[in-house]
Structure 1
Amino acid sequence: MAVSALRLGAEKLFEMPAVLRRLSRCQSTSQAFAEVLRLPKQQLRKLLYPLQEVERYLAPDRRQDLHLRIFNPSPEDIARAESVFKATEHNRIEYVSSAIRMDHAPDLLRPEVCFIGRSNVGKSSLIKALFSLAPEVEVRISKTPGHTKKMNFFKVGKYFTVVDMPGYGYRAPEDFADMVETYLKERSNLRRTFLLVDSVVGIQKTDNIAIEMCEEFALPYVIVLTKIDKSSKGHLLKQVLEIQKFVNTKTQGCFPQLFAVSKCNCSLSTSQFSPAVAAGHHI
């Protein structure tokens, strides 16, 4: 069972000396990852496995209607992903350009991963956190909904391009539908779409529209549950169960893994999520 494997893996991560030695070897890969390893054990567990506190309620044998998949990256996976997002002389991470229409979008050959979601769901904050190891890259964030008005393209070394899409719903750009729908439909090098959902309110009607677009265009996409630090354990469990049931019964192209992130203000907040983004361009 996926949940049993996660529980066993989490126990081994903090109890087996061999695995702890692997963690120590990863420490030299990234200063940010080294900071992760210095966190108290309980905080480290919560960071690497944000759904661990509710996992016992998600056992597949208790909920036959769920086919749960939990993303469980190894310490090496996390360190490798951190190296992808770390700016160096040989790994340039930079803002490329912005566009309001597809004919203004940069003609890039490398694979792309894009982030979409309702206004103020935390897209730009999450991308800013992913780029925290490249401080020269400016990702503008705002508490005002609808701050992002254009498609923003960021080069991640030789690996892929990250695209920050305007938020839909409240204060969305007037040409949002044409801009985003055209991108999702026509961008041939788009490999994976990360659809962000606010854990406080769950999937809304506007989210359903975005999901329908991904399904119609047969895009591989992933749901990311944001702001989990603002939800109680019971409320978070309710949202996870509802989203998992929604994915299993009403979607075809959505990956069964549900990713959860808390308020993002540094790379430590995305250590568990970074490998998913780094792997997304291979799909």
Structure 2
Amino acid sequence: MVAPGLRLGAERLFEMPAVLERLSRSNSTSQAFAEVLRLPKQQLRKLLYPLHEVERFLAPDRRQDLHLRIFDPSPEDIARADKVFTATEGNRIDYVSSAVRIDHAPDLFRPEVVALTAVPSVGLAGDFAVVFSSFVLYFHWPLRLKSESPKNQYGHTKKMNFFKVGKHFTVVDMPGYGYRAPEDFVDMVETYLKERRNLKRTFLLVDSVVGIQKTDNIAIEMCEEFALPYVIVLTKIDKSSKGHLLKQVLQIQKFVNTKTQGCFPQLFPVSAVTFSGIHLLRCFIASVTGNLD
């Protein structure tokens, strides 16, 4: 099901040059996104709709294995969502506070989304980013947040960190699960996931190079046990060949289709290097937090 108010977008991309031109010149579109819209159409499609890029390498009888029409917003919808993530004087992204228990969490009545990711083992720790820094990169948020927010090293985040995105919603950065997780991880995170009433969606960041690992099942089992709606975001898609990425996408999609109940049936592949898939993920977050109404 396509989210209310959203229209199929990827297939229309090559049929709407006038729309793209109007959007690129519109005052309601940020300068950064206006530049994106001026990219060659093939490059633009790859940037905005990366799953469709993967689909091109599937045989016709395998395309049903991917859910490519669940969330497929038009470029107009993506442009509207981009405004939510554009930092201005009236739309600041600010650190609010940190908490180690749910009763210490700030009373923020706006919608919340939470980011969860596994802490890799020592042998894999080389080029992994900080959990929150990864989310910051994906949304192009100002780098000033790094100095204003608690200073964290990957695998050392010990608290739940709350960040306001303008007047729109709140992002909660959680300690990583698995290797080097804090001792009170279960009490802290499970209690938040079970009791936080304004939590709208949980985003599990999974490394697309290695796929779903045993540590990822910790978060998946929590979400399934508590009947929480969650989404799998495949990170680092720029690190894999098309063949390897396609294999991983199919394997993870099969896992989602057959082993999960609460997981959104569409994967969100993204790259913090090429920014492929970032705008689509932004649009989805804007939608689930009620900011595309």
TM-score, length basis structure 1: 0.85
The count of corresponding residues between Structure 1 and Structure 2 is: 276
Out of 183-192 and 169-178, give the one that drifted further: 169-178
CA shift for structure 1 position 209? 1.6
Question: Which of 162, 182, 205 is residue 196 of structure 1 equivalent to?
Answer: 205
Percent identity for Structure 1 against Structure 2 = 74
1:141–1:77 distance in 2 versus 1, CA, 3 Å: farther
Question: Which of 212, 215, 232 is residue 224 of structure 2 equivalent to?
Answer: 215
Question: Which of 269, 273, 277 is residue 281 of structure 2 equivalent to?
Answer: 273
Contact 1:126/1:264 (8 A) holds in 2: no
1:272–1:20 distance in 2 versus 1, CA, 3 Å: same
Contact 1:264/1:270 (8 A) holds in 2: no
Gaps of 5+ in 1: 3-7
Distance 1:200 1:47 in 2: 19
1:225–1:143 distance in 2 versus 1, CA, 3 Å: farther
Q: List aligned pairs for 1:1-283, cutoff 5 A.
A: 10=10, 12-26=12-26, 29-57=29-57, 61-62=61-62, 68-69=68-69, 71-119=71-119, 120=128, 123-138=131-146, 145-264=154-273, 270-282=278-290
1:148–1:236 distance in 2 versus 1, CA, 3 Å: same
1:5-43, CA deviations, whole angstroms, 9 ceiling, x for partnerless residues? xxx954641354333334334475202102212334443
1:217-260, CA deviations, whole angstroms, 9 ceiling, x for partnerless residues? 11111110000001111111111111111111111111111101
1:174-215, CA deviations, whole angstroms, 9 ceiling, x for partnerless residues? 222221111111111111111111001111111112111101
Which residue does 1:5 correspond to in 2?
A: none
TM-score, length basis structure 2: 0.82
1:11–1:250 distance in 2 versus 1, CA, 3 Å: closer
Over the residues paired in the alignment, what is the CA RMSD in angstroms? 3.0
Q: Which amino acid aligns with 1:199?
A: S
Contact 1:85/1:133 (8 A) holds in 2: yes
Distance 2:152 2:172 in 1: 20
1:59–1:250 distance in 2 versus 1, CA, 3 Å: farther
CA shift for structure 1 position 130? 4.8
Contact 1:58/1:241 (8 A) holds in 2: no
Distance 2:270 2:158 in 1: 24
1:258–1:22 distance in 2 versus 1, CA, 3 Å: farther
CA shift for structure 1 position 97? 0.8
Contact 2:161/2:172 (8 A) holds in 1: yes
CA shift for structure 1 position 155? 0.7
Contact 1:122/1:226 (8 A) holds in 2: no
Gaps of 5+ in 2: 3-7, 120-127
Distance 2:166 2:280 in 1: 21
SS where residue 180 of structure 2 aligns? coil
CA shift for structure 1 position 83? 1.1
1:140-174, CA deviations, whole angstroms, 9 ceiling, x for partnerless residues? 79996414322111111222111111111222222
Q: Which amino acid aligns with 2:221?
A: E
Distance 1:68 1:276 in 2: 14
1:242–1:54 distance in 2 versus 1, CA, 3 Å: same
Q: Which amino acid aligns with 2:111?
A: P
Contact 1:68/1:244 (8 A) holds in 2: no
1:43–1:156 distance in 2 versus 1, CA, 3 Å: same
1:26–1:193 distance in 2 versus 1, CA, 3 Å: farther
Q: Which runs of 4+ in 1 moved over 6 A?
A: 139-143
Distance 2:186 2:21 in 1: 50
1:269–1:61 distance in 2 versus 1, CA, 3 Å: closer
SS where residue 50 of structure 2 aligns? coil
Q: Which amino acid aligns with 1:178?
A: D
